[in-house]
Amino acid sequence: MTEKRAFQKVYTRLTRITKATCSVRASGIGYDELALVDGRLAQVVKIIGDEVTLQIFSGTEGVPTNAELVFLGMAPALKVSEELAGRFLNAYGEPIDGGPALTGKEIEIGGPSVNPVRRMQPSQLIATGIAGIDLNNTLVTGQKIPFFADPDQPFNQVMATVALRAQADKIILGGMGLSHDDYLYYRNVFENAGALERIIAFINTTENPPVERLLVPDMVLTAAEFFAVEKNEKVLVLLTDMTLFADALSIVSNRMDQIPSKDNMPGSLYSDLARIYEKAVQFPDGGSITIIAVTTLSGGDITHAIPDNTGYITEGQLFLRRDSDIGKVIVDPFRSLSRLKQLVIGKQTREDHSQVMNSAIRLYADAANAKTKHENGFDLTEYDERTLKFARDYSEKLLAIDINIGIDEMLDTGWKLFDRYFSPEEVGMKEELVKKYWPGQSGKQ
């Protein structure tokens, strides 16, 4: 994409240069069109009369007024074909794996949206083996959901695990501001799992200019749409880290002197993020795009504009939290939510799923109350003590992210824990379920 084309006109007089942009007098230029300025990729962001203003992705440092400028005649695009499978590419869709250049149909990225009446309601469960997800926050194909995690949490590991267990036809990774080590981590994990031929990755590392990241999600989703629409495949998209993507948006808007709204983010942050996440879809012909993203938080603050806008767009969120009682990272059952779970719970899973899930969370909440009570210096009742013991076991056997069991086993574990610490009346579930599943219940009668 970035090669010059012979017949194109070369401009050599920039009329204006700012921190992020340069301007040139030119006519017949299309909005959003790409150009090369002094060998750097740039995109048209404003045209007034014959003055065309371009944003240079890698910044304008050192760009002279007599830099060579060539328009490329199109918006950013990706060559799509089956050959994408197994490839590692940069934000421009160029190979970084030493392999051959891409071939195939060139498609402009950031394409149109799906007509809502052509969508199907998501209905296929995605099993991950992690009970904090499958039991409490079941994922569904066509869903979009982020991990909300502080930067020191192992979200990349969890994402890689989820991706490999998810039984997707393709896994497309969009790495934005990924550390080089994490990039290599993903590569190794996928390689060791023998999954490389199902993987496509678009990688922008911390070593690349931040603004280039802005292309990554659209590249990823263009590839995803190709496999989901043309090949009817189940595509799983991983975006990490969307906070760094949003930071790049704010860099651009600040450099272009736009009026910032909350937390220095551009006023269009909601639309910018929604455009990406809304690409998650279930198609009628079986193809689907599921998006699992990471939004890193700063100090757990979810009211910051980035997680806040994300929460308004995605279908729930998964919170990772370190549980100091068991010394492990867990999926926090209180603040996590999969909004599509009711589409599969009890339908594709056992009838007792919803009750086991709710009862366990309620007892866990009782334990949290008991803990607060204790911390405030009040005496604990005998019931309080039992909830605390239950909470520890629940956390260890079900919430921890290192769990890998089937959903029936998760449910059975739930019943065993209820039985260990409580009486059926205390758990308060439907009678018929207690009769059927409470350990030893049938034996007692």
Partner 1 sequence: MLTKGKVSGIISNLVIVDADGPVAQNEICRIEHEGTKLMAEVIKLNRNQAFVQVFESTRGLRVGSDVEFTGHMLEATLGPGILSRNYDGLQNDLDRLEGIFLKKGEYNFPLDEEQAWEFKPLAEAGETVEAGSWLGEVIENWIPHKIMVPFKFSGSFTIKWIAEQSSHRVHDVIAVLTDSRGEEHQITMVQKWPVKLAVKAYKAKTRPFKIMETGIRVIDTLNPIAEGGTGFIPGPFGCGKTVLQHALSRQADADMVVIAACGERANEVVEIFTDFPKLIDARTGRKLIERTTIIANTSNMPVAAREASVYTAMTIAEYYRAMGLKILLLADSTSRWAQALREMSNRMEELPGPDAFPMDLPAIISNYYSRAGFVELNNGKTGSITFIGTVSPAGGNLKEPVTESTKKAARCFYALSQQRADSKRYPAIDPIDSYSKYFEYEEVKDYMARNISPDWVDQVVRARDTLLRGREAQEQINILGDDGVPLEYHVRYWKSEVIDFIILQQDAFDKVDRTSPIARQKYMLGKVLEIADREMKFKNFDEVASWFKRLINSLRQMNYSKYESGEFYNHLKEVDQMLIEIAEL
Site residues (CB under 6 A) for ligand ATP?
Answer: 311-312, 339
Angle ∠(297,298,301) on CA atoms, nearest 5: 75
Q: What kind and span of H or E run contains 242?
A: helix 242-255
Look at residues 256, 212, 205 and name the one whose alpha carbon lies nearest to residue 34.
212
The CA distances from residue 270 to 93, 256, 295, in Å, are 26, 19, 14
The listed partner (partner 1, ligand ATP, none) that binds 445, CB under 5 to 8 Å by sort, is: none
Taking the least distance from each CB to ligand ATP, the nearer of 353 and 386 is: 353
**What is the smallest separation between the CB atom of 367 and partner 1, expressed in angstroms?**
14
Q: How far apart are CA 42 and CA 175, in angstroms?
A: 21
Taking the least distance from each CB to ligand ATP, the nearer of 144 and 234 is: 144
**What is the smallest separation between the CB atom of 12 and partner 1, expressed in angstroms?**
21
Look at residues 174, 229, 224 and name the one whose alpha carbon lies nearest to residue 204.
174
Pair 229, 80: CB distance under 8 Å? no
The listed partner (ligand ATP, partner 1, none) that binds 47, CB under 5 to 8 Å by sort, is: partner 1
**What is the smallest separation between the CB atom of 262 and ligand ATP, expressed in angstroms?**
16
**What is the smallest separation between the CB atom of 95 and partner 1, expressed in angstroms?**
26
The listed partner (ligand ATP, partner 1, none) that binds 327, CB under 5 to 8 Å by sort, is: none
| H helices present in 140-227, as ranges | 155-165, 180-192, 216-225
Taking the least distance from each CB to partner 1, the nearer of 44 and 189 is: 44
The listed partner (partner 1, ligand ATP, none) that binds 286, CB under 5 to 8 Å by sort, is: none
Pair 22, 60: CB distance under 8 Å? yes
Taking the least distance from each CB to ligand ATP, the nearer of 389 and 430 is: 430
Q: How far apart are CA 357 and CA 338, in angstroms?
A: 13
When CB distances to ligand ATP are compared, the closest residue is: 339
The listed partner (ligand ATP, partner 1, none) that binds 193, CB under 5 to 8 Å by sort, is: none
Taking the least distance from each CB to partner 1, the nearer of 20 and 305 is: 305
**What is the smallest separation between the CB atom of 179 and partner 1, expressed in angstroms?**
29
Beta-sheet pairing, 14-17 with 21-25: antiparallel
**What is the smallest separation between the CB atom of 317 and partner 1, expressed in angstroms?**
8
Look at residues 64, 89, 62 and name the one whose alpha carbon lies nearest to residue 78.
89
Pair 195, 187: CB distance under 8 Å? no
The listed partner (partner 1, ligand ATP, none) that binds 271, CB under 5 to 8 Å by sort, is: partner 1
Taking the least distance from each CB to ligand ATP, the nearer of 170 and 341 is: 341
**What is the smallest separation between the CB atom of 75 and partner 1, expressed in angstroms?**
6
Q: How far apart are CA 409 and CA 277, in angstroms?
A: 32
Taking the least distance from each CB to ligand ATP, the nearer of 312 and 383 is: 312
The listed partner (ligand ATP, partner 1, none) that binds 127, CB under 5 to 8 Å by sort, is: none
Q: How far apart are CA 113 and CA 129, in angstroms?
A: 33
The listed partner (partner 1, ligand ATP, none) that binds 120, CB under 5 to 8 Å by sort, is: partner 1
Pair 279, 289: CB distance under 8 Å? yes
The listed partner (ligand ATP, partner 1, none) that binds 108, CB under 5 to 8 Å by sort, is: partner 1
**What is the smallest separation between the CB atom of 160 and partner 1, expressed in angstroms?**
26
Beta-sheet pairing, 77-80 with 40-48: unpaired
Pair 128, 109: CB distance under 8 Å? no
Taking the least distance from each CB to ligand ATP, the nearer of 240 and 310 is: 310
Q: How far apart are CA 442 and CA 445, in angstroms?
A: 6
Say whether 69 sits in a helix, a strand or coil. Answer: strand
**What is the smallest separation between the CB atom of 370 and partner 1, expressed in angstroms?**
12
Q: How far apart are CA 375 and CA 390, in angstroms?
A: 18
Taking the least distance from each CB to ligand ATP, the nearer of 311 and 424 is: 311
